[in-house]
Each structure stands twice: as C-alpha cells, then as structure tokens.
Amino acid sequence: MVRHLRAEAYAGRMLPFVVEYQGRLVGQLTIAGITWGSMCSGHIGYWVDREVAGRGVIPTAVALAVDHCFRSVGLHRIEVCIRPENAPSRRVVEKLGFREEGLRPRYLHIDGAWRDHAVFALTAEEVPEGMLNRWRRQKPSASHK
C-alpha cells in the first residue's frame, strides 16, 4: 500500500497525508484521481479514528489539504464522494461549505456491492480567502479548545 501511494504521488496523481492529533496517528486523507490539463481536479478521501471523531480533526485536515491543492499544487476543483448513509462524512463537507452536486449511482464497489455516492465539490474561486480561514471563522468558539 505504501509503495502504491508513493508511486502515485511521484507520478503527480495523488497526494497522501497522515492525520495526527496530539502526537498520534488518527487518520488518513488522500487527494487522488488528480487530473491535469484543462481539468486540474482531484478528489478527497479520508477516515478518522472514532476516538477523535467530532473534534474538528478531519474538517481541519480537509481544509488544510484543499488550501494546499488550490494555492500550492494548482488544482482548480476538489470533489468528495460519500455514501449517502455516511452522516459523519456528509457533516464534514457540509461544515466546510462544499456544494452538493448530485448522486452517482453504483459508483464504487464496496463490501461486495456497487454503492451509490453523493458528490460534493468546490472550486478555487469559491474560497478566495482559503478554506482553513473560512472554517475557522465558522467554528463556534466552544470548539476552539
């Protein structure tokens, strides 16, 4: 797995990241399917340890990754595809202001069957101030612990 991620990263098709919280590995975030040329796009996948879910760890990681992609890498569009029943992942993109674009029927083969996915997206023009700045402004003060 690590070799595959490294090879895809070197080829410019993927940006794999680990997510740390208080000095320990708690998740992973990957910008994959990077397409250049007239598209300049990629999609984000992520997971987080249940012990830290709900603390803003993944929304912050997604915001940082999106800013990196838009400001440093040169991507124009980022997508997130989420199974409709995955409420915690849907909440991440809703918090960050991703726009829902629709449903991709039977999009990925997961757990032995083709599963539908809701598509959320964002372009660089939609976050001129940066996603992390927007996320920090929107967070209630109680979550700044």
Radius of gyration of the chain (CA): 15
Q: Which token pair is 4?
A: 């595959």
Q: In this structure, are residues 1 and 16 in contact, taking their beta carbons and an 8 Å threshold?
A: no
Instruction: Supply the pLDDT for residue 140.
Output: 63
Distance CA(92)–CA(118), nearest Å, equals 13
Question: Is domain 2-138 annotated with CATH 3.40.630.30?
Answer: yes
Region 55-70 average pLDDT: 96
H or E element, residue 119: strand 113-123
Closest to 124 measured CA to CA, from 116, 115, 114, 134: 134
pTM of the predicted protein model:
0.90
pLDDT above 70: residue 143: no
Q: Which token pair is 137?
A: 């402004």
> pLDDT band at 4, cuts 50/70/90?
confident
pLDDT in tens, 104-124: 999 999 999 999 999 999 999
pLDDT, the chain, mean: 92
Q: Which residue is listed with tokens 């919280």?
A: 21
Distance CA(45)–CA(139), nearest Å, equals 22
Question: Would residue 5 be called left, alpha or beta, if left means φ above 0 and alpha means ψ between -120 and 50 degrees?
Answer: alpha
In 1-145, which residue ranges form alpha helices assigned H by DSSP? 2-10, 57-68, 87-96, 131-138
Q: Greater confidence, 138 or 67?
A: 67
> pLDDT band at 137, cuts 50/70/90?
confident
Distance CA(89)–CA(86), nearest Å, equals 6
Residue 77: strand, helix, or coil:
strand
> pLDDT band at 125, cuts 50/70/90?
very high
